[in-house]
């Protein structure tokens, strides 16, 4: 298994180009299942999760190919309704084929994703929504079976604005008979990106980016092209890297409209963030200030940036509280940060952080995707060489992170 070694103490300078967003690419790739022609997607990041999705689409009978950042999916031959355990266990987001498969084939059989490092993460709201649209849902031997001759539009209230749940139901509704209204829908930029793609396929989706999304079902959708939006979490991670190293980095492609809460909290912490035509220029202060953060669905502070922001607070002057409201077990990185000398205590779903003057290198273990990014950030400032084990998590969501950080002057290498 690969490891990453980071030697701390280098100030990051220069520019870094942000890749396409993983969380936009996955549902958009899955949406090709709704059509029967070649869909050409550009700016698709080369990540483990994207490869798993491409493998899954291939398994379902689609023709899938990649040429640099362009992925083509031709789902005209799709005939297999089963997403097997071997693929779903690698990536929870495989569940994104549930809606489009049901709409396209009238049935889907998808392995239940099960729990994961950051919590139980059920999919009950995805299933409730499909049932409201007339589907029969049956759980059997670890698989969820969904059957519907033709889905029927429905009024669906989501108890929680689930991101992949909203996406699954949007895709299912696009081929349903009649109109579906999703209330308390997720508002993330990736939802709007999916709606734009569905509309390019001939769907009628309105209201994406607001809590009420209306989808008028169509008999058929046609193939369309899409360009994946920049990854706001990758961008924010590089902003945090600049912030903690007293750096000066142009984060090329970062979109401020997608990152409002994170930018505001960084500015509050003393980071200088300037919007420039190419993206965001980020300058870290000599000393960061402590600020409190609470994660929330978009437009709130993204849970996917919580661990990385915590590294900033570990080094800030004063005491801060980071409260996690989305996932029940998303503080696994805390014990690893403590090994590097951070002063953090957990009280229920909050981490209370007392800033320290410096962190010191130690071997650490990555437990999930964003926790890995947090440990790489900590390694950039820790005195000595930090060895991060189990970095396969990072390859799920960050494209060439060690190359991008090296390009900014970090001392980082992958050990194979
Ligand atoms: C997506 C993102 C992930 C991000 C998360 C929250 C993708 C591929 N992944 O994950 O990176 O961290 O949003 O921003 O886009 N819930 C239920 N029942 C359900 C569905 C969700 O109780 O049926 C709960 C979850 O357990 C969690 C909360 O709702 O507590 C939000 O989860 P959700 O928005 O569904 O996250 P994902 O879509 O899995």
Nearest to 297 by CA among 176, 180, 158, 172: 158
Mean per-residue pLDDT of the chain: 96
For residue 340, what are its two tokens? 């590097």
Does residue 121 carry a pLDDT above 90?
no
Looking from the CA of residue 162, the nearest atom of ligand 1 is: 34
Question: Which of 227, 259, 292 is the endpoint of a domain?
Answer: 227
Nearest to 175 by CA among 191, 195, 151: 151
Q: What is the pairing mode between strands 272-276 and 279-283? A: antiparallel
Please tell me if the CB atom of residue 126 comes closer than 6 angstroms to any atom of ligand 1.
Answer: yes
CA 269 to chain centre: 24
Beta strands in 43-172 (DSSP E): 63-67, 70-74, 82-83, 107-111, 136-140, 143-147, 155-157
pLDDT at 114: 65
From CA 266, how far away is CA 290, in angstroms rounded? 10
- One domain for residues 309 and 374: yes
- One domain for residues 208 and 240: no
- One domain for residues 311 and 201: no
Does residue 280 carry a pLDDT above 70?
yes
Note the pLDDT tens digit of each residue in 7-18.
Answer: 999 999 999 999
- One domain for residues 302 and 254: yes
From CA 110, how far away is CA 85, in angstroms rounded? 8
Please tell me if the CB atom of residue 191 comes closer than 6 angstroms to any atom of ligand 1.
Answer: no
Q: Is the dihedral of CA 389, 88, 399, 332 positive or negative?
A: negative
Q: For the chain, how many structural domains are there in total?
A: 2
- What CATH number is given to the structural domain containing 74? 3.65.10.10
Which residue out of 158, 165, 229, 261 has the highest number of ligand 1 atoms within 8 Å of its CB and is therefore the one to mutate? Answer: 165
**For this structure, is 116 an active site residue?**
yes
From CA 96, how far away is CA 109, in angstroms rounded? 12
Which residue out of 163, 185, 304 has the highest number of ligand 1 atoms within 8 Å of its CB and is therefore the one to mutate? Answer: 163
Question: Cis bond leading into 299, ω under 30°?
Answer: yes
Question: Which of 186, 209, 227 is the endpoint of a domain?
Answer: 227
314 CA from centroid of ligand 1 (Å): 27
pLDDT at 113: 82
For residue 200, what are its two tokens? 């390019």
Partners of 210 in the β-ladder: 208
Note the pLDDT tens digit of each residue in 22-64.
Answer: 999 999 999 999 999 999 999 999 999 999 999 999 999 999 9
- One domain for residues 15 and 31: no
Question: Which of 227, 247, 275 is the endpoint of a domain?
Answer: 227
Please tell me if the CB atom of residue 259 comes closer than 6 angstroms to any atom of ligand 1.
Answer: no
162 CA from centroid of ligand 1 (Å): 5
- One domain for residues 364 and 384: yes
- One domain for residues 287 and 303: yes
- Provide CB contacts within 8 A for 115, sequence distance 6+: 121
Our separate counts of H helices and E strands in the chain read: 14, 24
- One domain for residues 174 and 261: no
Confidence of residue 367 (pLDDT cuts 50, 70, 90): confident
Please tell me if the CB atom of residue 274 comes closer than 6 angstroms to any atom of ligand 1.
Answer: no
CA atoms within 13 A on the CB side of 409: 15
- One domain for residues 250 and 216: no
- One domain for residues 192 and 284: no
Report H helices in 94-159.
Answer: 98-105, 124-132
Q: What is the pTM of this model?
A: 0.97
From CA 165, how far away is CA 177, in angstroms rounded? 20
Note the pLDDT tens digit of each residue in 215-224.
Answer: 999 999 999 9
Which residue out of 94, 98, 116, 160 has the highest number of ligand 1 atoms within 8 Å of its CB and is therefore the one to mutate? Answer: 160
From CA 104, how far away is CA 122, in angstroms rounded? 24
Looking from the CA of residue 26, the nearest atom of ligand 1 is: 8
Looking from the CA of residue 127, the nearest atom of ligand 1 is: 23
Note the pLDDT tens digit of each residue in 334-344.
Answer: 999 999 999 99
- One domain for residues 151 and 275: no
Please tell me if the CB atom of residue 237 comes closer than 6 angstroms to any atom of ligand 1.
Answer: no
Domain residues for the domain of 385 are 3-19+230-415
pLDDT at 83: 95
Confidence of residue 1 (pLDDT cuts 50, 70, 90): confident
Please tell me if the CB atom of residue 327 comes closer than 6 angstroms to any atom of ligand 1.
Answer: yes
- One domain for residues 179 and 321: no
Please tell me if the CB atom of residue 185 comes closer than 6 angstroms to any atom of ligand 1.
Answer: no
Beta strands in 198-267 (DSSP E): 204-206, 212-216, 226-227, 248-252
Supply the residue whose CA is at minimum distance from atom 31 of ligand 1: 162
Reduced to 3 states (helix: H, G, I; strand: E, B; else coil), residue 321 is strand
């Amino acid at each position: 298994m690969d490891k990453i070694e980071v030697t701390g103490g280098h100030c990051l300078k220069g520019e870094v180009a942000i890749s396409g967003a993983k969380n936009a690419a996955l549902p958009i790739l899955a949406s090709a299942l709704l059509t029967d022609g070649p869909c050409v997607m550009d700016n698709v990041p080369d990540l483990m999760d994207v490869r798993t999705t491409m493998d899954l689409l291939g398994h379902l009978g689609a023709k899938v190919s990649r040429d640099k950042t362009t992925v083509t999916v031709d789902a005209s031959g799709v005939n297999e309704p089963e997403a097997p355990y071997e693929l779903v266990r690698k990536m929870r987001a495989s569940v994104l084929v549930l809606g489009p498969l049901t709409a396209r084939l009238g049935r889907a059989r998808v392995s239940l994703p099960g729990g994961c490092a950051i919590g139980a993460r059920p999919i009950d709201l995805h299933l409730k929504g499909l049932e409201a649209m007339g589907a029969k849902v049956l759980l059997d031997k670890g698989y969820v079976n969904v059957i519907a001759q033709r889905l029927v539009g429905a009024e669906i209230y989501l108890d929680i604005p689930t991101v992949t749940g909203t996406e699954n139901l949007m895709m299912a509704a696009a081929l349903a008979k009649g109109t579906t209204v999703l209330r308390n829908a997720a508002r993330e930029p990736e939802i709007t990106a999916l709606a734009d793609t569905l509309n390019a396929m001939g769907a009628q989706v309105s209201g994406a980016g607001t809590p009420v999304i209306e989808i008028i079902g169509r008999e058929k959708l046609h193939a369309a092209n899409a360009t994946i939006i920049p990854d706001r979490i990758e961008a924010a991670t590089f902003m945090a890297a600049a912030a903690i190293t007293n750096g000066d980095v142009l984060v090329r492609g970062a979109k401020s409209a997608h990152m409002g809460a994170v930018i505001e909290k960084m500015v509050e912490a003393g980071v200088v963030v300037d919007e420039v035509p190419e993206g965001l220029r980020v300058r870290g202060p000599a000393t960061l200030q402590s600020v409190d953060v609470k994660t929330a669905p978009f437009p709130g502070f993204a849970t996917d940036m919580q661990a990385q922001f915590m590294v900033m607070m570990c080094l800030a002057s004063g005491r801060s509280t980071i409260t996690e409201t989305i996932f029940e077990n998303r503080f696994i990185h805390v014990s690893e940060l403590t090994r590097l000398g951070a002063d953090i205590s957990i009280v229920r779903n909050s981490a209370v952080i007392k800033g320290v003057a410096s962190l010191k290198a130690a071997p650490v273990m990555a437990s999930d995707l964003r926790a890995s990014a947090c440990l790489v950030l900590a390694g950039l400032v820790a005195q000595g060489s930090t060895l991060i084990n189990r970095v396969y998590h990072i390859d799920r969501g960050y494209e060439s992170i060690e190359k991008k950080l090296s390009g900014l002057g970090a001392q980082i290498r992958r050990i194979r």
